[in-house]
Amino acid sequence: MISQELLKQLTSLAAALFLLTAFAILAQRHMRALLGWFAIQGVLLAATSALVAFAAASPELYISALLALLLKGFLMPWLLWRVVVRLGANREVETLINIFPTLLIAALLVLFAYYISLPIQKTSVLMTRNIIAIGLACVLIGMLIMITRRKAVTQVVGYLAMENALFFTATAATHGMPLVVEIGIAFDVLIAGLIFGLFFFHIRKTFDSLDLRHLERK
């Protein structure tokens, strides 16, 4: 039988690796590596959900973990890779700010997330209260990815990374939402992925590029 202390340590390890993937996505210059880290983040999200499900004895959270593994760990990264290959966009990732200053901003966002989550950690009695700050930090880093990227594909990866972080934070703060809500969110993510794919093809057909600066000029 696994002790609560060991479960807490395993959950903290998975959360630390989840935060590492957010930094790795932010630091990538190549599309293939970017989507690889995004897939690893999805797998870690599923692993964290499964650990919380075991600790909380929540069968519904196991289903959420399985959905996260299938959709966020495999299907979405595979769909995005198919789209970028089809569009010939599987080259270097273009950024608005250099990588090093962006990573420094991300480190500051992590400190900010720890600061604003302190009152929640003090009042919560859940085993996962110490990883809520990591979830909030990853939400902010996902927003930073969206802001500092030029191409539509990388901005969508930032949006999906932020959605992963929101799911992570909700799991840590509440030990899982109602199953019908989580299935609805998973379905929304799948539909969003299909719409984004159509969006990419339309931008490429209109501007012969996925650079969103063309939309601003239009």
The DSSP line for 33-76 is HHHHHHHHHHHHHHHHHHHHHHHHT-HHHHHHHHHHIIIIIIIH
Q: What is the 3-state secondary structure (H, E, C) of 103-169?
A: HHHHHHHHHHHHHHHHHHHHHCCCCCHHHHHHHHHHHHHHHHHHHCECEHHHHHHHHHHHHHHHHHH
For position 91, what pLDDT does the model report? 66
Q: Convert the pLDDT of each residue in 2-35 to its tens digit.
A: 677 888 889 899 999 999 999 999 998 888 899 9
* Residue 94 clears pLDDT 80, i.e. is over it: no
Residue length, the chain?
218
Q: Which amino acid is residue 197, in one-letter code?
A: G
As a whole number of angstroms, the distance between CA 22 and CA 37 comes to 8
Torsion of CA 66, 67, 73, 78, to 10 degrees: 130
Share of the chain above pLDDT 70, in %: 80
As a whole number of angstroms, the distance between CA 126 and CA 182 comes to 20
* Residue 176 pLDDT level (bands cut at 50, 70, 90): low
As a whole number of angstroms, the distance between CA 165 and CA 135 comes to 5
Q: Convert the pLDDT of each residue in 36-82 to its tens digit.
A: 999 999 999 999 989 988 888 888 888 888 988 998 899 889 988 88
Share of the chain above pLDDT 90, in %: 28
Cut 0.75: pTM above it: yes
For position 16, what pLDDT does the model report? 94
* Residue 1 clears pLDDT 60, i.e. is over it: yes
* Residue 144 pLDDT level (bands cut at 50, 70, 90): very high
- Quote the Cα angle for 38-43-45, to 5°: 90
Of the candidates 65, 66, 39, 38, the one whose C-alpha atom is nearest the C-alpha of residue 176 is 65
Cβ–Cβ < 8 Å for 93, 31:
yes
For position 19, what pLDDT does the model report? 95
